[in-house]
Structure 1
Amino acid sequence: MSTALLSLAIIATAQAQTTVVKEIVIQGNRRVSREAILAAMRTKVGQPYVQENLDRDQRALDDLGFFEAVSVRPSPLEGNSWRITVDLTEWPEVKEIRVVGNSVIKTEDILNVIKPFIKPGDVYNLNSLRPASDAIRSLYSKKGFFLAAIEEFAPLKESPNTVNIALVETRVGTVSVQGARATRDSVIRRLIKTRSGDPYSENKWVNDLRRLYNTSWFESVTTSIDPEREAGKVDLTANVKETKTGQFNVGLQLDPRNKLAGVIRLSDTNFRGTGQTVGINYIQATQGSGPSVDLDYVNPFFDSKDTALRVSIYSRLVFRFANVFSSSSPTSSSSDYNERRTGGSIGFSRPVGDSLSYGLSVRYENVKTNNVSATGADRFIQQDGDVGVASLGFIRNRRDRDIDATRGDWLKLDVEPGYANITDVGGAAAGTNVIGTHTFFRTNLEFRKYFTDQGKLTPKDLDAAKRVLALRAKVGSIQGTVPFFEQFFAGGADTLRGYPEDRFWGRNQLLTTAEVRYPIQKAFSIIGFVDYGGAWGGYNTVNDFTQSAGISLHLGYGMGLSFRTPLGPIRVDLGFDERGKSRTHFLIGTSF
């Protein structure tokens, strides 16, 4: 046989042995189109029948996720051809999605986050389960909660058109505190709001730890979390190290108002472990005029709703225009004078949620001007009498911690109706129409904001020192006839640095501050600051303290140091006014 004839014979034999797919029959699909099914298959009509391709088609159709059961069967036809039958059982159409086991996230919110993957009207698809489950877990995480498991995400057997999503939320097992010896357990339990059996909220637990830290009863507050005791539960432990809360101090004090003074202070901010504050302060300034005495009491748990009670009884000297560490004094020491303010205050405040609180307080004082015999009529303002002020305030506190906040904000609004009964006037106030009883209404608004580039505080570093940009704005206005000593005052350590204490006064106030706080060590920071603001629209100029009837704002700037000490934080600032003259300010406590 010739070579050409042999080739033709081989081709004819191969063609006789080749089998082709003549038809593909698809059965059982109702909502999934025939075209979509054929597109997923490698087997095509008119192409050779290959069993490996059919096996792959079986897997490919399963992978579409639309089918509960898939069967791909070949059957022979005449003429070396095949029929491929694809039997399908579709998952049912979703008509309802039911969510069970959720207690902290609304069902509506869960349905919204899974809507891109599965919703009523769709065919149930196994491939939607993972992204939908991930979306639910992400939603819980964003809200500060956790899921232990998603036990079921499938159609109900008794109602195939209903998809059941069964969630198991992570819950709190035990809550314990380690290291508290002086502080009573019942007091700590008032601060910790997380309870055994609650859904575990990381945000809520961190807030509990911050609440402990903000009391200043503890040197450190950390946590440990044990998830191993029981599936779906976590055991929480707050580890605290108590600090000394009782103080008895005898010594000297430098104060922006009182200058150099002898001090006797007896106080305890956690009296007998109850969380209550009791304090007695006795201050005798070097100028004389008698001592200042304060008796203070605070009960942060006055009732079952965590209402705080604050009571203060006092007889204080307030030194007007006092010059401390001043290199350039606009007044001589003889022009300093003081007011003795004798009275008391009582106030209540109550939290509303985690960040909002409101308070109501009443203050009554008798004010008497002293040490004016050596000053001229233009060197002081005398308005002696009684004053009573009520205050209704609202505070929104979203700072990460109250002391040296690193991020968050703080907002306070106060409205203060008051009355004054002035019986004696003198100095620059002579001739003003303030004798007798008058009323006034004062409004204050203050906002603080904090930024850091070093991340959020965690339960492991609640007392960490971080770089912070801190901003503050204060605005206030007074209507009615207000005594001199009840006006707004600007100038000094806590308002407008670079200027004497009380340098500006008036019925209106606007103060802004920006501080960059850079920690050198945990207890020591360098601070750069800019203050801009003032007070205006009040009483006459006194001596060299010129005043403005209209809005008048002033610039102060400088550098400072901040120290954390066992007696509390201390600030020393070197400020410059808008003429470049310097003044040193000393502050016991924090600025804001």
Structure 2
Amino acid sequence: MEVFKNDKAISKMAFHWHFCCKILILFFLLFCSSVLYAKPVSYDVDIDAPKMIKTLLEQNLDLIRWRGNEQIDGAQLRRLYRNTPDEIRQLVETEGYYSPVIKTEMQKLENGGRRILIHVDPGKPVKVAVVDIEFKGAITIQKSSLKPSIEQLKKNWQLPVGSVFRMADWEAAKIALLKQVTRVRYPRAELEDTRAIVNPETDEVTLKVIVNSGDPVKFGPIRIVGLHRYGEDVIMGQRPVKVGSTFRENALLNWQSRIQDSGYFSSVEVTADLESGLEEVPITVTVVENKKKHAAVGIGYSTDMGERISLTYDNLHFLGRDYKLKSSVVLQSRQRTAKADVYLPQRPDGTRDSFGVMYDRSEIEGEDTRVAGANFRRAWGTPRLEKYVSVEYLNEHNRIDGADGQQSQALPVTFGIITRHLNNRLAPTKGYALEAQVGAAVEPVLTDKSFVRGYLKGIRFQPIGEKGDLILRGELGAVVSDGKEGVPSTVLFRTGGDQSVRGYSYQSLGVKEGDAIVGGRYLAVASIEYQYYFIKNWGVAFFVDAGNAGDTIKELDPAIGYGIGGRWRSPAGPIGVDLAYGERTGSFRLHFSLGFTF
């Protein structure tokens, strides 16, 4: 009897199971048919809102992103439409508006499409009423004279009382505050708590930030990885980091940059092991070495000097030591140059020594010049502020078409300063760079005519709007001597060409002598240029250049050139092609430039 009851129950369960399966299959088929035959709906969206809010919604609303998609049917459109007000509220809150008035309407069109109207009145923006920044950790008991100071950190807060509370600005301000703490002394600092309490009734927000500095950190032992071909001096000589000194993030970055610029390595990484938990954190320098010797052949063209063939040979272990030899032979249409320079590793005190020899022959504007020379240079400082002293011997043979030539020699000693405050060394768009030189040669110390030479050049980059840049450039030079005879033409001044006064050929502006243009004792050049980048890295430039060289200040009657050019911010630096008109010559010239150097 028990067996019979069980069999009957099982039979009944099987019947219900088959019936449920049929129902599920029927629903599945109905669902598939509704998907397959769902008719897509076309629709337009009109947004009535202030310009900034309208742009924000056009870039982020799901209704906008899905418009034109064939998978959107009536049901899906209604779902998007229902979600739109909440989506708008979340978006406008990021811009500081917490009490918006939102109205939406969906209209059915005769063609079966839809028109969605959205009206947004964002209301008053929420503004910061209170900023409460609290610090914990060792920073609260450090001496007031040490950096970073709590007073300065609070002063530098980027979202002060009275400013509109935008979410992006709030996040940026927190990150900026933490970075200021971690750069010096407290790299393990963290944001312990952050809160933004909004009161929609008063349109005000209270900001609360708690920063825990942790314990101070010092530089610990240094380990070098990957160094096989060269001695440790090529790395340790660049070092601004001392064991036991206060941790500074910029010191690590500067050291890494110096090692990379030394030329011995293709890759450099300087890191601090902050996870060690030690007060003196270990420093690791990881390098990938360049080969000791390198030779190359190059072919090029310059609108200043014409066709060019170059041969270069570099040796990073010259004379069996970590001296860098950089040598080259460059053959151009109007100039042939051979030179070799030897660079010694940087010393621990930061000084960098180099010496070299050169031979140059040029035939420019009717002047044939042959110069042989040797030089010694000592430089020190940082890329931001560099100083140098150089001693150079020049022996020159000069021949001028239609006039007498001369032979001269000089041993000028020059002191120079270069300061760079640029947002990017390769392709700057903001900041300035300036170089000043003063030098002198005195008879009879390998010098035929005593002279004093001064030279100043500078460039300024100033952004104009979101897509424009204004570039101001200038040069001034003077050679003070008792006449020019006996002064090498190499230390005199001429101008004109790609990097000076466009619209004129290379060094064609100077002093008329015989059938040639030769150097003068004074120089003045000025340039103003506006660049507008209309498509990402592609732009157009408008410029006016003026300048000249002469033997007296009164002879500095400026030659003017102006024109238009194209610009491309390439990975290798800015590339420019300019078409310039020279007022004196009444003709157009094409100029080409690659990269930025100062």
Classify the TM-score, shorter chain.
Answer: 0.5 to 0.7
In the superposition, relative to structure 1, how do residues 342 and 187 fare at CA in structure 2: closer, same or farther (>3 Å)?
Answer: same
SS of structure 1 residue aligned to 2:411: strand
1:294 counterpart (339, 363, 367): 339
In the TM superposition, residue 359 of structure 1 has moved relative to its aligned partner by 1.6
**For residues 188 and 453 of structure 1, what CA distance do their matches in structure 2 show?**
41
Q: Which residue of 1 aligns with 2:439?
A: 416
In the superposition, relative to structure 1, how do residues 224 and 364 fare at CA in structure 2: closer, same or farther (>3 Å)?
Answer: closer
**For residues 578 and 180 of structure 2, what CA distance do their matches in structure 1 show?**
46
In the superposition, relative to structure 1, how do residues 510 and 139 fare at CA in structure 2: closer, same or farther (>3 Å)?
Answer: farther
**For residues 240 and 398 of structure 1, what CA distance do their matches in structure 2 show?**
28
Q: Which residue of 1 aligns with 2:261?
A: 214
Q: Which residue of 2 aligns with 1:171?
A: 218
Q: Which residue of 2 aligns with 1:358?
A: 387
**For residues 247 and 384 of structure 1, what CA distance do their matches in structure 2 show?**
37
**For residues 545 and 177 of structure 2, what CA distance do their matches in structure 1 show?**
44
Q: Aligned pair 1:476/2:477, yes or no?
A: yes
Q: Which residue of 2 aligns with 1:438?
A: 449
Q: Which residue of 2 aligns with 1:511?
A: 526
**For residues 478 and 557 of structure 2, what CA distance do their matches in structure 1 show?**
12
Q: Aligned pair 1:349/2:369, yes or no?
A: no
SS of structure 2 residue aligned to 1:205: helix
Q: Aligned pair 1:311/2:355, yes or no?
A: yes
**For residues 110 and 246 of structure 1, what CA distance do their matches in structure 2 show?**
49
In the superposition, relative to structure 1, how do residues 172 and 305 fare at CA in structure 2: closer, same or farther (>3 Å)?
Answer: closer
Q: Which residue of 2 aligns with 1:277?
A: 324
**For residues 500 and 204 of structure 1, what CA distance do their matches in structure 2 show?**
45
2:581 counterpart (568, 577, 580): 577
Amino acid at match of 1:416: G
In the TM superposition, residue 341 of structure 1 has moved relative to its aligned partner by 0.8
In the TM superposition, residue 286 of structure 1 has moved relative to its aligned partner by 5.7
Amino acid at match of 1:417: A
In the superposition, relative to structure 1, how do residues 252 and 140 fare at CA in structure 2: closer, same or farther (>3 Å)?
Answer: closer
CA contact (8 A) 2:566 2:576 kept: yes
TM-score, normalised via structure 1 length: 0.54
CA contact (8 A) 2:371 2:397 kept: yes
User: How do residues 155-234 of structure 1 correspond to structure 2 at under 5 angstroms?
Assistant: 168-176=215-223, 182=229, 184-219=231-266, 221=268, 226-230=273-277, 234=281
Q: Aligned pair 1:260/2:307, yes or no?
A: yes
SS of structure 2 residue aligned to 1:209: helix
Q: Give the number of the structure with larger relative contact order, counting CA–CA contacts within 8 Å between residues 6 or more apart.
A: 1
Q: Aligned pair 1:340/2:370, yes or no?
A: yes
**For residues 292 and 552 of structure 1, what CA distance do their matches in structure 2 show?**
31
In the TM superposition, residue 349 of structure 1 has moved relative to its aligned partner by 1.6
In the superposition, relative to structure 1, how do residues 583 and 180 fare at CA in structure 2: closer, same or farther (>3 Å)?
Answer: farther
**For residues 280 and 378 of structure 2, what CA distance do their matches in structure 1 show?**
38
In the TM superposition, residue 265 of structure 1 has moved relative to its aligned partner by 2.4
SS of structure 1 residue aligned to 2:526: strand
Stretch deviating more after TM superposition (215-224 or 359-368): 215-224
Q: Which residue of 2 aligns with 1:33?
A: none
In the TM superposition, residue 285 of structure 1 has moved relative to its aligned partner by 5.0
**For residues 574 and 153 of structure 2, what CA distance do their matches in structure 1 show?**
53
Larger proportion of helix: 2
Amino acid at match of 1:509: A
**For residues 272 and 320 of structure 2, what CA distance do their matches in structure 1 show?**
26
In the TM superposition, residue 188 of structure 1 has moved relative to its aligned partner by 1.7
In the superposition, relative to structure 1, how do residues 107 and 268 fare at CA in structure 2: closer, same or farther (>3 Å)?
Answer: closer
Q: Which residue of 2 aligns with 1:490?
A: 495
CA contact (8 A) 1:471 1:512 kept: yes
**For residues 527 and 385 of structure 1, what CA distance do their matches in structure 2 show?**
46
In the superposition, relative to structure 1, how do residues 473 and 219 fare at CA in structure 2: closer, same or farther (>3 Å)?
Answer: farther
**For residues 217 and 362 of structure 1, what CA distance do their matches in structure 2 show?**
26
Q: Which residue of 2 aligns with 1:248?
A: 295
Cα deviation per residue 1:317-343 (whole Å; 9 max; x = unaligned)? 12323xxxxxxxxxxxxxx44200112
Cα deviation per residue 1:20-61 (whole Å; 9 max; x = unaligned)? xxxxxxxxxxxxxxxxxxxxxxxxxxxxxxxxxxxxxxxxxx
**For residues 180 and 517 of structure 1, what CA distance do their matches in structure 2 show?**
46
Cα deviation per residue 1:218-246 (whole Å; 9 max; x = unaligned)? 55555655422116565555555555684
In the TM superposition, residue 576 of structure 1 has moved relative to its aligned partner by 0.6
**For residues 528 and 286 of structure 1, what CA distance do their matches in structure 2 show?**
29
Amino acid at match of 1:535: N
Q: Which residue of 1 aligns with 2:145?
A: 106
In the superposition, relative to structure 1, how do residues 497 and 284 fare at CA in structure 2: closer, same or farther (>3 Å)?
Answer: same
Q: Which residue of 2 aligns with 1:141?
A: 180
CA contact (8 A) 2:547 2:556 kept: no
**For residues 285 and 300 of structure 2, what CA distance do their matches in structure 1 show?**
37
In the superposition, relative to structure 1, how do residues 219 and 493 fare at CA in structure 2: closer, same or farther (>3 Å)?
Answer: farther
In the superposition, relative to structure 1, how do residues 306 and 171 fare at CA in structure 2: closer, same or farther (>3 Å)?
Answer: closer
Cα deviation per residue 1:385-438 (whole Å; 9 max; x = unaligned)? 2233221112334446644456554332211123589xxxxxxxxxxxxxx953
Amino acid at match of 2:435: K
Give aligned-pair identity as a percent.
18
SS of structure 1 residue aligned to 2:555: coil
User: How do residues 47-58 of structure 1 correspond to structure 2 at under 5 angstroms?
Assistant: none
Please give the root-mean-square deviation of Cα atoms over the aligned residues, in Å.
4.9
Amino acid at match of 1:396: T
Amino acid at match of 2:526: L
CA contact (8 A) 2:187 2:274 kept: no
**For residues 200 and 310 of structure 1, what CA distance do their matches in structure 2 show?**
32
SS of structure 1 residue aligned to 2:524: strand
Amino acid at match of 1:314: M
CA contact (8 A) 2:304 2:505 kept: no
CA contact (8 A) 2:410 2:448 kept: no
SS of structure 2 residue aligned to 1:212: helix
Q: Aligned pair 1:384/2:407, yes or no?
A: yes
CA contact (8 A) 1:495 1:531 kept: no
**For residues 551 and 262 of structure 1, what CA distance do their matches in structure 2 show?**
36
In the superposition, relative to structure 1, how do residues 337 and 442 fare at CA in structure 2: closer, same or farther (>3 Å)?
Answer: closer
In the superposition, relative to structure 1, how do residues 573 and 267 fare at CA in structure 2: closer, same or farther (>3 Å)?
Answer: farther
**How many equivalent pairs are there?**
402
Question: Structure 2: where are the runs of 5+ without partners?
Answer: 1-138, 156-172, 190-212, 511-519
